[in-house]
Amino acid sequence: MNEPVFREAYGRVVATLIRLTDDWQLAEDCAMDAVESALARWPRDGMPANPGGWLMTAARNRAIDQLRRATMAEKKLRDLALLQDPEPAPQGDDRLRLIFTCCHPALATESRVALTLRTVAGVETAEIARLFLVSESAMARRLSRAKAKITQARIPYRVPSGPALAERLPSVLAVLYLLFTRGYDGEPELAEEAIRLVRLLPAEPEATALLALCLLQHSRRAARQNETGDLLTLAEQDRSLWDHAAIAEAVELLGGSPVTGPYAIQAHIAACHATAPDFAATDWPTVAAWYDQLARVHPSPVVEVNRAVAHGYAHGPRAGLKLLAAVGDAVAGYAPAVAAAADLTERAGDPAAAAVLFRQAADLAGSDAERRALLKRSTAAG
pLDDT of residue 5: 64
DSSP annotation of 231 reads B
Report the largest interatomic distance among the alpha carbons of the chain, rounded to a whole angstrom: 78
Per residue in 316-341, pLDDT (tens digit) is: 999 999 999 999 888 888 899 999 99
To the nearest whole percent, how much of the chain has pLDDT over 70?
A: 91
Stronger pLDDT, 2 or 195, i.e. the higher one: 195
Q: How far is CA 169 from CA 103, 106, 163, 230, 352, in A?
A: 9, 14, 10, 37, 48
Residues 316/340, Cβ–Cβ less than 8 Å: no
Q: How far is CA 149 from CA 62, 101, 107, 170, 183, in A?
A: 26, 11, 8, 21, 27
Mean pLDDT of the chain: 86
Per residue in 50-101, pLDDT (tens digit) is: 888 888 888 888 888 877 766 555 555 555 554 554 444 444 467 788 888 8
What pTM was estimated for this model as a whole? 0.75
pLDDT at 342 over 90: yes
pLDDT at 290 over 70: yes
pLDDT of residue 87: 45
pLDDT at 196 over 90: no
pLDDT of residue 292: 97
CB-count burial class (<10 Å; 0-12, 13-18, 19+) for 172: buried
SS (H, E, C) 14-56: HHHHHHHHCCHHHHHHHHHHHHHHHHHHHHHHCCCCCHHHHHH
In this prediction, residue 1 has a pLDDT band, given cuts at 50, 70 and 90, of very low
Using CA atoms, how far apart are residues 213 and 270, in angstroms rounded to an integer?
7
Per residue in 123-157, pLDDT (tens digit) is: 888 888 887 778 899 899 999 999 888 888 888 87
Average pLDDT rounded to a whole number, residues 196-218: 92
Using CA atoms, how far apart are residues 145 and 342, in angstroms rounded to an integer?
44
pLDDT of residue 303: 94
To the nearest whole percent, how much of the chain has pLDDT over 90?
A: 40
Domain spanning 297-382, CATH class:
mainly alpha
